[in-house]
Amino acid sequence: MDTIVAQATSRGVAGIGVIRVSGSDTRQVMLSILGRKLLPRYATLLPFYNKQHVTIDQGIAIFYPAPHSFTGEDVLELQAHGGSILLDNLLQAVRQVASSIRLAHPGEFSERAFLNGKLDLAQAEAISDLIHASSEQAAMFAVQSLQGRFSERIHQLVALLSELRVHVEAMLDFAEDIIDPLALDKIEKKLLDLEQQCKKVIQQASQGALLREGMKIVLLGAPNVGKSSLLNNLAGKDCAIVTEHPGTTRDIVQETIQIDGMPVYILDTAGVHITQDKIECLGIVRTRLALKQADRILLMVDANVVYNCMILPLLNDEPIDTKLFWPESLDLPLEDYKDKLTLIINKIDLIDNHETCLALNQAEHIHSNRLFVSAKDGLGIDVLRVHLKHCMGFDTSSLEGTFMARRRHLDALERAQSCIITARESWRASEALELLASTLQEAQLALGEITGVVRSDDLLGKIFSEFCIGK
């Protein structure tokens, strides 16, 4: 493998900047740049030289001989001063030491650490998640995963699976008539246990994935219902222009907020109505595209406008028909979106009985798909936040023991779970050992994708290319 080099700290002006070298030419780099050998893992202050033996800088150098380094290869870390020109000079000096030394690709140090068995795939991904964490909780969970908590849970599942597989494979070698019925019973119990354990890991991983991936909400409604006002209220700042003129927002305005550490991407859209205005029409096209990616759609209406057809029936505990409020001019079928809809009845500060309406927001109504708010005065906004968490299944009270996970991990866990369920059901129906053995093997392969025991070059390429350079 080539020897790789990269700046490990971000570019710009800073107190220090770190250059990292990894690979078989590292010792040669050490002799050339530092003019001497270093004691392993000792921080040494000394000058850094270029090819012409001119001093480029002076700083701290640390040499980590293989295999006791981050990548598992010989690694040299040069802690220079943090100026861009200086660090470029140092990078160039390192590259000039041998023709086989090249700049590292994004994530290449972590990829080598993975390939050399220093980390498993879930841990390597946790490094990137830690660097990119968007909230305190997300960072804390990423550390848990980096330290192996998630991988450990996966290993436990794999251990249960292997144990069961060994048991099943052994029975396959016996003639049917000498199999102990108790052993058959034991299989049923083990399958059930496995299914429950898997469910628990999925529950924890999905909380972690939510902290990483968050939710996307789209504010939808006719012009002037208060979409931009709601965006500004949720964001706590004036992100979008608000005026009394219908058609103020023409484009999508996006802002990210946090709800208890979960990132929420809010998309404020152009008011939807029948219009010939070219700009508004283009805005509505964008609204349609945004709706397709939404985890949740907040369909907003104006309390004054819908007083008779919505608020009075609601106050009288009569059902309302969401169809009435779905904007026809969107030209999208309500059926495709209704599971993601929350009706937001805005501007309740303007109606007389708003206290009664707010009371309807409370208790079990938090989980219902309609809420009364005033984007202007902030009424009902706390309940809306709780509602959004609930829609995503984000439960802050059960975060204890959670770790960072990704959609990819959840997909693999869900595949494993469905194999286990199929295995249990078909075992009950037919007690066919061969079928059981192959379904369990499939479940184990799915779990192996998480830690990287089972992997493809494509998958590795995709994962590590999202890392930053120098990591």
Ligand X SMILES: Nc1nc2c(ncn2[C@@H]2O[C@H](COP(=O)(O)OP(=O)(O)OP(=O)(O)O)[C@@H](O)[C@H]2O)c(=O)[nH]1
- Binding-site ranges for ligand X (CB under 6 A): 221, 223-229, 242-244, 246-249, 271, 346-347, 349-350, 374-376
Rank residues 206 and 224 by Cβ distance to ligand X and give the closer one. 224
The answer to the question of residue 233 lying near Mg ion (CB under 5 A) is: no
Please report the DSSP string for 364-395 in residue order. Answer: GGGGSSEEE-BTTTTBTHHHHHHHHHHHHT--
List % helix, strand, coil for the chain (3-state, nearest 5): 50, 15, 30
The DSSP bridge partners found for residue 344 are 300, 371
Residue 246's binding partner out of Mg ion, ligand X, none, with CB under 5 to 8 Å set by partner kind: ligand X
Pairing outcome for strands 253-259 and 262-268 = antiparallel
Instruction: Assess contact for 125 and 464: CB atoms under 8 A.
Output: no
Shortest distance, CB of residue 225 to Mg ion, whole angstroms?
A: 9
Rank residues 86 and 381 by Cβ distance to ligand X and give the closer one. 381
Angle between helices 407-430 and 181-213 (to 10 degrees): 160
Residue 247's binding partner out of ligand X, Mg ion, none, with CB under 5 to 8 Å set by partner kind: ligand X
Residue 82's binding partner out of Mg ion, ligand X, none, with CB under 5 to 8 Å set by partner kind: none
- The one segment of 29-37, 208-216, 247-255, 346-354 that binds Mg ion by CB under 5 A: 247-255
Residue 421's binding partner out of Mg ion, ligand X, none, with CB under 5 to 8 Å set by partner kind: none
Please report the DSSP string for 196-223 in residue order. Answer: HHHHHHHHHHHHHHHHHH-EEEEEEEST
Match 């859209």 to its residue by tokens: 269
Shortest distance, CB of residue 332 to ligand X, whole angstroms?
A: 18
| DSSP conformation class of 10 | P
Shortest distance, CB of residue 268 to ligand X, whole angstroms?
A: 7
Return the H-helix or E-strand segment holding 14: strand 14-22
Residue 349's binding partner out of Mg ion, ligand X, none, with CB under 5 to 8 Å set by partner kind: ligand X
Rank residues 106 and 223 by Cβ distance to ligand X and give the closer one. 223
Contacts of 321 (CB under 8 A, 6+ apart): none
> Which of 3, 7, 228, 361 is in the footprint of Mg ion by CB under 5 A?
228
Shortest distance, CB of residue 235 to ligand X, whole angstroms?
A: 13
Shortest distance, CB of residue 248 to Mg ion, whole angstroms?
A: 5
From CA 255, how far away is CA 158, in angstroms rounded? 41
Rank residues 227 and 387 by Cβ distance to ligand X and give the closer one. 227
Please report the DSSP string for 236-256 in residue order. Answer: TS--S---SSTT---S-EEEE
From CA 163, how far away is CA 167, in angstroms rounded? 6
Shortest distance, CB of residue 317 to ligand X, whole angstroms?
A: 24
Question: What's the full length of the chain, in residues?
Answer: 471
Rank residues 22 and 249 by Cβ distance to Mg ion and give the closer one. 249
Please report the DSSP string for 407-470 in residue order. Answer: HHHHHHHHHHHHHHHHHHHHHHHH--HHHHHHHHHHHHHHHHHHHTSS--HHHHHHHHHTSPTT
Residue nearest to ligand X (CB): 271
Rank residues 22 and 346 by Cβ distance to ligand X and give the closer one. 346
Shortest distance, CB of residue 233 to Mg ion, whole angstroms?
A: 13
> Which of 249, 287, 342, 444 is in the footprint of Mg ion by CB under 5 A?
249
From CA 120, how far away is CA 286, in angstroms rounded? 41
Residue 448's binding partner out of Mg ion, ligand X, none, with CB under 5 to 8 Å set by partner kind: none
Shortest distance, CB of residue 279 to Mg ion, whole angstroms?
A: 13
Rank residues 90 and 384 by Cβ distance to ligand X and give the closer one. 384
- Positions that interact with Mg ion (CB under 5 A): 227-228, 248-249
